[in-house]
Amino acid sequence: MTRDNDKELAILEYIQRRHAETGVYPSVREIATEMGFRSTNTVAYYLNKLERTGLLERPTRQARTFALRSAALRRRRRTPVPPAAGKGIPLLGRVAAGQPILAQQNFDGMVTLDGFFPAGERTFALRVRGDSMIEAGIMDGDLVIVRQQTRVEQGEIGVAILGDEATVKRIYDEGSEWRLQPENPAFEPIRVPKSDGSFAVAGKVVGVLRRL
Amino acid sequence: MTRDNDKELAILEYIQRRHAETGVYPSVREIATEMGFRSTNTVAYYLNKLERTGLLERPTRQARTFALRSAALRRRRRTPVPPAAGKGIPLLGRVAAGQPILAQQNFDGMVTLDGFFPAGERTFALRVRGDSMIEAGIMDGDLVIVRQQTRVEQGEIGVAILGDEATVKRIYDEGSEWRLQPENPAFEPIRVPKSDGSFAVAGKVVGVLRRL
DNA sequence: CCGTTTTTAGAACTCGCGTTCTATACGATC
DNA sequence: GATCGTATAGAACGCGAGTTCTAAAAACGG
């Protein structure tokens, strides 16, 4: 099918490099100069190809606008980027009806926990019990990823410690008391007077992990 | 000297926000629209002021090109270098009201993607678009972890490929056709005759990953 | 060797976009 | 009250930039 894959990737890599270095995407003519093309049409030819394979997006066709959400090109050299086992899970972008799901044109980078969540000293996971946050997409048995912090913004989902138990709720500061708001109409909000010393915010929920 | 400092900063902040969110700087006319100005000259007026005070740079005067190297707006930095694959996130068990959340006695092991999900050649991730599976706790923007297989058990959640698109649904074998059942009362099931060659099962959803 | 597909060139077209010029209110200053 | 700097509008100018059309090498397949 496509024989001249190298130039496509070189263009993609140049676009990404220009954006990383200058913050601005190149114009079609600049790409042509970089690649040694004498015609802007040659660039258009490759850009269309890249768009068809899903490696590049141009929602609007305005000047110097691209959308490169593929982390795939993070690596410098060619790397056939086959979905290998071990270091994370491959993330696929577009999936078309053609055959190989795990083909490289779908590849969009590798997912790792430490890459996906802001890992660090202050991050931990916690298993959720109960259905009180079901409408927020957090279900019984899920693991929530929590960034440890003693306060959360109004209405953010956080981990509240009440006596001996940790619960996940939306946390509101109501002046004289805290309101722990479930995301399930079957549950009532919990109100805790600020004088209650057994209450504390353990952190903010930054992610959810579920095994089916 | 300058009385109307607020609008300058609002413009600066908009430019920086647009770039952070979309990767592309706005055009002069887009800034005018955002600020409620009816003339592009008004924007030029402020841009010149910002340039004089050094808060903004425009080395070239090309379309959508700015240079924001002012340290003032540097606060929200993206991680340009992905953290070298770490060892995962600590999973906590009991969390009591006592102080140190990350204390030893709470520790319950480390969570890693490869440990949590059945990693391997046949596992990949896919970003979910739309709310059709919201009642199954799968929301727009989530990453689903998929085990590649060509068939799923009756009613399991899987990834179905229909023409050019991959969708996550509960998949039922209805004899002469497939039924793709959403988990959202606002959506109707999709029925695909088995004679349709553009349909295929890409795999079974074994996990969900969400960043808030 | 010939027909087909891929890849490149060149030029023209149109529109987006930054700039500039002219005006007009509105305060502040003298 | 005349004047000056600030803030905004409106229109026009000119170039930058993406697209498209035609065409022709170059590579490929039988």
What does DSSP say about strands A123-127 and A107-111: parallel, antiparallel, or unpaired?
unpaired
Paired residues of A211 in beta bridges: B207
The kind and range of the H/E element at B53 are: none
Q: Specify the CATH number of the domain A5-111.
A: 1.10.10.10
pLDDT at A78: 32
Contact B56, B19 (CB under 8 A): no
Q: Specify the CATH number of the domain A123-209.
A: 2.10.109.10
Q: How many Å from the CA of A29 to C1' of D23?
A: 21
Burial B20-56 (b: 16+ CB within 10 A, else e): eeebbbbbbebbbebeebeeeebbeebbebbeeeebb
Contact A183, A136 (CB under 8 A): yes
Q: At what angle do helices B5-22 and B28-35 cross, to 10 degrees?
A: 120
pLDDT at B170: 92
User: Tell me, what amino acid is at B174?
Assistant: E
In tens digits, chain B (212 residues) has pLDDT values of: 445 577 888 888 888 888 877 888 999 998 998 888 989 999 998 888 888 776 788 877 888 888 875 433 333 333 222 232 344 556 554 444 333 444 444 455 666 776 677 666 577 788 787 888 999 999 888 888 888 777 788 888 988 877 656 788 998 888 888 888 989 988 888 888 887 766 778 888 888 989 88
CA nearest A138 in B: which residue? B137
Find the residue closest to C11 using CA and C1' atoms: A39
For chain A, the structural domain boundaries read 5-111, 123-209
Q: Which nucleotide is nearest to B63 (CA to C1')?
A: C17
pLDDT at B88: 52
| Four-point Cα dihedral A82, A88, A92, A97, nearest 10 | 60
What is the token pair recorded at A211?
Answer: 């095994």
CA distance A107 to B44: 42
**Which nucleotides in chain C have some atom under 7 angstroms from a protein Cβ?**
6-12, 16-22
Would you call A178 exposed, middle or buried from its count of C-beta atoms within 10 A (0-12, 13-18, 19+)? buried
Domains B5-73 and B123-209 equal at CATH topology level? no
The kind and range of the H/E element at B164 are: none
Burial A140-175 (b: 16+ CB within 10 A, else e): eebbbbbbbeeebeeeebbbbbbeeebbbbbbbeee
pLDDT at A41: 92
Chain B hits for A119, CB-CB cut-off 8 Å, are 83, 86, 89
Architecture of domain B5-73: Orthogonal Bundle (1.10)
Burial B109-146 (b: 16+ CB within 10 A, else e): eebbbbebbebeeebbbbbbeeebbbebbbbeebbbbb
pLDDT at B99: 38
Query: Of A70, A76, A113, which to mutate for an interface test with B (greatest number of B Cβ within 10 Å)?
Result: A113
Q: What angle do CA B204, A90, A133 make, to 5 degrees?
A: 60
CA distance A206 to A199: 21
pLDDT at A136: 92
CA nearest A63 in B: which residue? B63
Contact B212 A205 (CB under 8 A): yes
Q: Enumerate residue ranges in chain A where pLDDT < 50.
A: 1-2, 70-87, 93-106
Contact B74, A23 (CB under 8 A): no
Contact A148 B210 (CB under 8 A): no
